[in-house]
Amino acid sequence: MKKTNSKWFLTVPVAVLFACGCSSLSPEAMDEIASQLRNLMGGERLESLEDRVAALADQQQLIYGYAASLAAAQGITPTAARDWAAAQDGTAEEVEPDEPAEDVDAIDFGKLQWSFGGVKGGKAELSSPRLSELKASATSISYTWDVGLAGWGLAHSEAGALCCWFVEKENGEIVGGKFDWVSTSRRTRSLENVLDGYKGWSLDGVPNPTKCFLVVISSDGRKRSNVIGAEWKR
């Protein structure tokens, strides 16, 4: 059996727990949690490695459940909690998406033409990050991270992914490409590079207003978020 690191089991969930703020639970609830943790951590001697591993797994589940309840009480999303934890040690495990692309993409990803920005991301495969609530002003955009970039091994403030912008031309083509780098900590981006012709960017033949789309891809171009869309009025 693979050796289990009890410190790993406890460190991240406990860190998230305290980051969320323990004061939101009543003294009675805190006492009950403490009692259950004491029982799991050594209320009786566990002789076998299998029993110790099972107890640690139960303990982890309890602590994660506790942290989740605290996060919910504070209005903190599970994604934010995971990203906070990843930022502390720089590690994370990617969760494979369980939704088909047609359920999460605002447009068929294959219709995006990678015309500008110097990156060809057309072969990127749908991965764990999830975006929503795209809003576009004349010179900037905002969006929400429903699932951040921790699954790609990027810490919360590490700008290691590519922000890619696409617009619909008068002839119906959807053109665009990379215009900036991005981290999970950033929920807005300037469109200055798009407007200033960064790496070939051009709005020739793009009506005003027009449909617009945003997708984030990994720096190697192999993985991507979902595609979100809005209207862009310049």
| Domains of the chain, residue spans | 6-76, 101-232
Bridge-based pairing state of the strands 174-182 and 188-190: unpaired
Q: Specify the range with the lowest mean pLDDT, choosing from 19-33, 95-109, 147-161, 186-200.
A: 19-33
CATH classification code of 101-232? 2.60.40
| Cβ-based neighbours of 126, under 8 Å, separated by 6 or more | 97, 101, 104, 105, 109, 223, 224, 225, 226
Task: Say if residue 175's pLDDT is above 90.
Answer: yes
Task: Say if residue 137's pLDDT is above 90.
Answer: yes
If you average pLDDT over every residue of the chain, what do you get?
77
Q: For Cα atoms 17, 22, 26, give the angle at the middle one, nearest 5 degrees.
A: 135
Helices (H), ranges, 111-231: 192-195
Over residues 100-114, the pLDDT tens digits come to 777 899 999 999 999
Over residues 29-48, the pLDDT tens digits come to 556 655 655 555 554 454 55
- CB neighbours (10 Å) of residue 182? 23
| pLDDT reported for residue 167 | 98
